[in-house]
Amino acid sequence: MRGCFAVPEPTVDNKLMRRRRTFIDLATHTIAVVGGLLCLGIVTAVLGWIILRGAPHVDLHFFWEASRESGLAGGIRYQIAGTIILMLTTLAVAVPLSIGLALAATVYLPRGAARSALQGFLQLLNAMPSILFGIVGYLFFFHYLGWGKSWLAGGLVLGWMILPTVTISLIKSMEAIPLKQIHAAAGLGMRRGQIIRSIYLPQSVRGLFTGSFLGLARAAGETAPILFVATVFAGVSLPEGIRDSPVLALPYHIFVLAQDSLQAGAIENLWATAFVLVALVIGLSLTVLPFRLHNSNRRDHA
Amino acid sequence: MLKKSQITSTAPIYEPFVASPRVLLFREISVWAQGLQILKDISLDIPEHCCFGLLGPSGAGKSTLLQCVNRLLDLQPGFRVSGSIHYKGADIMSKHIDADHLRTRIGTVFQQSSVFPTSIYENVLFGLKRVRGIPRAERADVVEKYLRQAHLWDELKDRLKRPATELSVGQQQRLCIARTIAMEPEILLMDEPTSALDARSTEAIERFILSVRNQCTVILVTHDLEQARRVTDRIACLCAGEEGGEILETGCCDAVFANGACRQVFQRIDEE
C-alpha cells in the first residue's frame, strides 16, 4: 500500500543516482572503519609491547628501591617521587593561571578582537614544541636568574606548557553556561565577582578537572621541557631546597636508559620504567573519562 | 469600583491611577543596536503600585525597553541608548548609577525561566543570600513565604531539597518569580512571563500579579490581550515603526482598546 507520498518510478537517472549514493555511503563507512581499526591497532600494539616487555620486571622492589649503577640495577623510587613532585608543582602553577585566563576570555575581556586574540595566543602556545619550553626555561632560570637545576623551575615550565590545555577546556565549559542564567543572576543584583563565584566557577569544575588531568598526562611523559632545567639522571633523592635541587623523573630515566641500551640491565629497567609511566599516564586519562563522556552526552542532547 | 465588563461604550471610561504618584518616568528613550534604531522617543509615566502593561507586536522593542530599566542592556554589546529614566529622583541611565544595586531594587522575571542548577530551596535564597545576606534561622521561613506568594508552596513543600531542574517549565517560572520577589524589589519587570506556560501556571502567575501590586509596581510585557485585560491597570500600546518601536497610545485598557490604530496593532498581535 502506498502512503501519502507517491514514490516515483525509477528512471535511468534515478538508478545512477542511487548507485552513486550507495557508493558514497559505503566509502565513508569504509574509511571510518579502517581509520578506527588502524588507531585501535596501533595503540594495542604499542601498549601490548610495553606490557609484554615491561610488566615481568615490575614488582614491589622496583617501585620501592632507589636506582643503582646509573640505573642499570635497582628500582625507580626517586624517579616516581620526582615525577609526583613535578606534577604537583605543575598543577599548582597551571590551575590558578588558567582560571584567571579563562575568566578573562569569557567574562572580563570585551567580546571581539581581544577575546579572539587571547584564544589565538592559547592555540599558539598549545602548538609550541615542548623543547622550546625547555630552552626558554633554561635561558630564563639558568642564565638570567642564575638557578641550578630545580624542581620548581621544572614545574613552572611544565605548568606553562599545559596552560593552554587546561584553559581551553575551562573556556569551553564556561561558554557552555546558558547566557540566560548569567542574566538571571545579574537581574538579582549580583555583582560580577559573585556571579563568577556562584555560577561560572561551580559550573566549570568538570572542565577544570578534564583539562588538568589531560594536561598532567601530557606533562608526565614529557622529557624535553625538563631536560635542561629540572632533572638529572642519578645521584639525588628528594629535593632539599629550591634553586639547586634537581629531581629524578620517569621520562628522563627512560631517555637515558635508551641511550645506554647496549648495556645489560638497561633494557629491562627501560621497559619496566616505560610500563610504569604508561600506566601513570593512562591512569590520569582514565580519571577524567567519565567527565569527558558526560560532556559529549550533554552535547548530543543539546 | 466598577467592573470592567460593566462599562458600556457610552459611559465615561474610568481611568485608574491617574492621580497616583509616579515611580518611573521614561523621557525620550531611543535605542539603537548596531546602527539600527529599535526604540524611538519613548516617554511614559508609570504610576506607583499599578500593573502597567506593554503591548505590541514582535519587534516593537518591548523587551528592550524593560532591559533599559534594569540596565541589563549594559551586559550586551552593541547597544546605544539615549534619553532618561527617572526613578526616585535619579536618572537610571546615568553612568554614576550602580547598576548592580539598581537591579536589587528593580527585579526581573524573564520570558524563559532559568533556574540555577541547585535545590529548590537554594534557588529561592540565591540572590537574597549573596546580595543582602540572611541569618540561617530565618531562611526556612523566607523560603516558605515567597514560595507561597508565587503559588508554589503546596506543590513543592515536600521536596524543597530536590534539584530545581526537575520541575516543570511552569513551576520553574514560578520559582524564578519567588526568587525575584524574595529580594523585595520596588519595581517588578515581567517579560512575557507566561508565553510558554500551561494554563495552570499562567493562572497562578496572573493571581500573583494581581496580589503583588500592594508591594511593588509591575511592568508586564505581554502578547496576550486577554491577559492584559485581566491583570493590567494601564497599558501602553507600541507599534513597530520604520524608525523603531513607538508608543501609539497610553491609558487604561478600555481607552487603549477603543483606539482605532491600536486595534490594528492588536489584530496583528492576534495573527502572530
Beta strands in B7-117 (DSSP E): 22-33, 36-47, 51-55, 79-87, 90-91, 106-109
- Paired residues of B32 in beta bridges: B37, B80
pLDDT band at A2 (very low <50, low <70, confident <90, very high): very low
CATH level 3 topology of A60-300: MetI-like fold (1.10.3720)
The single-letter code of the amino acid at B54 is: L
Q: Does B34 touch chain A (CB under 8 A)?
A: no
Q: Does B130 touch chain A (CB under 8 A)?
A: yes
Q: Which of A110, A178, A203 sits opposite B77 (nearest CB)?
A: A110
Question: Rounded to 5 degrees, what angle do the CA atoms A238, A241, A244 make?
Answer: 95
pLDDT value at position A1?
46
Grid cell for residue A127: 602548538
CB-CB neighbors (< 8 A) of B101 in chain A: 189
Cα-based distances in Å from A278 to A221, A247, A285, B49, B137: 8, 20, 10, 69, 53
pLDDT value at position B93?
92
Flag if B100 and A191 touch (Cβ within 8 Å): yes
Among the ranges given (A239-243, B205-209, B254-258), the one the predictor scored with the smallest mean pLDDT: A239-243
Residues of chain A whose C-beta is under 8 A from some C-beta in B?
A: 110-112, 178, 180-191, 194, 198-199, 203
For chain A, the average pLDDT equals: 88
Flag if B100 and A186 touch (Cβ within 8 Å): yes
Cα of B172 to nearest chain A Cα, Å:
13
CB-CB neighbors (< 8 A) of A180 in chain B: 110, 112, 114
Among the ranges given (A40-49, A58-67, A192-201), the one the predictor scored with the smallest mean pLDDT: A58-67
Cα of B100 to nearest chain A Cα, Å:
5
Q: Does the pLDDT of residue A39 top 90, yes or no?
A: yes
Cα of B272 to nearest chain A Cα, Å:
24
Q: Does B112 touch chain A (CB under 8 A)?
A: yes
CA distance B230 to B208: 12
Helix (H) or strand (E) holding B69: helix B62-69
Q: Does the pLDDT of residue A296 top 60, yes or no?
A: no
Grid cell for residue B255: 481607552
Q: Does the pLDDT of residue A20 top 80, yes or no?
A: yes
CA distance B187 to B69: 10
DSSP of A86-123, one letter per residue?
A: HHHHHHHHHHHHHHHHHHIIIIISPTTHHHHHHHHHHH
Q: How far is CA B83 from the centre of its chain?
A: 21
Block residue for cell numbers 569569557? A106
Query: What digits encode the pLDDT tens for the residues B147-196?
Result: 999 999 999 999 999 999 999 999 999 999 999 999 999 999 999 999 98
Pairing of strands B187-191, B217-222: parallel
Block residue for cell numbers 615542548? A130
Going edge to edge, which strands form the sheet with B79-87?
B90-91, B79-87, B22-33, B36-47, B244-252, B234-241, B51-55, B217-222, B187-191, B106-109
Q: Is B116 helix (H, G, I), strand (E, B) or coil?
A: coil
pLDDT band at B268 (very low <50, low <70, confident <90, very high): confident
Q: Does the pLDDT of residue B101 top 90, yes or no?
A: yes
Flag if B100 and A182 touch (Cβ within 8 Å): no
Flag if B110 and A190 touch (Cβ within 8 Å): no
Grid cell for residue B185: 524589589
pLDDT band at B35 (very low <50, low <70, confident <90, very high): confident
Helix (H) or strand (E) holding B248: strand B244-252
- Closest Cα in chain A to B125: A188
Pairing of strands B106-109, B79-87: unpaired
Q: Which of B101, B107, B130 sits opposite A187 (nearest CB)?
A: B107
pLDDT band at B10 (very low <50, low <70, confident <90, very high): low
pLDDT value at position B30?
94
Q: Is B53 helix (H, G, I), strand (E, B) or coil?
A: strand
Domains of chain B (ranges, CATH numbers): 21-271 (3.40.50.300)
Query: What digits encode the pLDDT tens for the residues A136-190?
Result: 999 999 999 999 899 999 999 999 999 999 999 999 999 999 999 999 999 999 9
CB-CB neighbors (< 8 A) of A112 in chain B: 77
The residues, any chain, with a CB within 8 Å of residue A143's CB and separated by 6 or more, are none
Q: Does the pLDDT of residue A300 top 50, yes or no?
A: no
Helix (H) or strand (E) holding B181: helix B169-181
pTM over 0.80: yes
Grid cell for residue A280: 601513570
Flag if B102 and A182 touch (Cβ within 8 Å): no
Q: Does the pLDDT of residue B14 top 60, yes or no?
A: yes
Grid cell for residue B102: 539598581
Query: What digits encode the pLDDT tens for the residues B115-158?
Result: 999 999 999 999 999 999 999 999 999 999 999 999 999 999 99
Q: Which of B70, B77, B116 sits opposite A111 (nearest CB)?
A: B77
CB-CB neighbors (< 8 A) of A187 in chain B: 70, 72, 103, 107-108, 110, 180
**Phi then psi dihedrals of residue B199, to 5 deg:** -60, -40
Query: What digits encode the pLDDT tens for the residues A225-284?
Result: 898 888 888 778 888 888 888 999 999 999 988 888 777 778 888 999 999 999 998 888
DSSP of chain A, one letter per residue?
A: ---SSPPPPP-HHHHHHHHHHHHHHHHHHHHHHHHHHHHHHHHHHHHHHHHHHHGGG--HHHHHSPEEGGGTEE--HHHHHHHHHHHHHHHHHHHHHHHHHHHIIIIISPTTHHHHHHHHHHHHHHHS-HHHHHHHHIIIIIIIS---S-HHHHHHHHHHHHHHHHHHHHHHHHHTS-HHHHHHHHHTT--HHHHIIIIITGGGHHHHHHHHHHHHHHHHH--HHHHTTTB-SSS--S--SSTT--B--HHHHHHHHHHTTTSTTHHHHHHHHHHHHHHHHHHHHHHTHHHHHHHHHHHHH-
Q: Which of A181, A183, A199 sits opposite B72 (nearest CB)?
A: A183
Flag if B102 and A189 touch (Cβ within 8 Å): yes
Alpha helices, H only, B182-259: 199-212, 225-231, 253-258
Grid cell for residue B156: 513543592
Flag if A190 and B127 touch (Cβ within 8 Å): yes
If phi > 0 it is left, if psi is from -120 to 50 it is alpha, else beta; for residue A281 that is alpha
Cα of A187 to nearest chain B Cα, Å:
6
Q: Does the pLDDT of residue A10 top 90, yes or no?
A: no
Alpha helices, H only, B108-168: 120-131, 136-149, 153-156
CA distance B259 to B267: 12
Q: Does the pLDDT of residue A301 top 70, yes or no?
A: no
CA distance A237 to A113: 49
Flag if A188 and B180 touch (Cβ within 8 Å): yes
- Closest Cα in chain B to A199: B116
CB-CB neighbors (< 8 A) of B178 in chain A: none
Q: Are B131 and B105 in contact (CB under 8 A)?
A: no
pLDDT value at position A8?
65
Task: Report the sign of the C-alpha dihedral through residues A210, A213, A217, A223, in that order.
Answer: positive
CB-CB neighbors (< 8 A) of B112 in chain A: 180
Q: Does the pLDDT of residue A112 top 60, yes or no?
A: yes
pLDDT value at position A14?
81
CA distance B82 to B28: 8
Q: Are A162 and A179 in contact (CB under 8 A)?
A: no
- Paired residues of B241 in beta bridges: B244
For chain B, the average pLDDT equals: 90
- Domain residue ranges of chain A, discontinuous segments joined by +: 22-56, 60-300
Chain B 62-101, residues with CB within 8 Å of chain A CB atoms: 70, 72, 75, 77, 100-101
Q: Which of B75, B97, B122 is best to mutate for the A interface (most A CBs within 10 A)?
A: B75
Q: Which of A188, A191, A205 is best to mutate for the B interface (most B CBs within 10 A)?
A: A188
Flag if A194 and B131 touch (Cβ within 8 Å): yes
Grid cell for residue B220: 508586564
CB-CB neighbors (< 8 A) of A190 in chain B: 100, 127, 130-131
The residues, any chain, with a CB within 8 Å of residue B87's CB and separated by 6 or more, are B23, B24, B25, B102, B106, B187
- Closest Cα in chain A to B182: A188
Nearest Cα residue to A167 out of A224, A199, A114, A124: A124
Cα-based distances in Å from B70 to A147, B133, B139, B172, B227: 56, 21, 27, 22, 24
Q: Which of B74, B79, B100 is best to mutate for the A interface (most A CBs within 10 A)?
A: B100
Query: What digits encode the pLDDT tens for the residues B55-90?
Result: 988 888 999 999 999 999 988 888 999 999 999 889
Flag if A187 and B110 touch (Cβ within 8 Å): yes
Cα of B3 to nearest chain A Cα, Å:
35
pLDDT value at position B7?
45
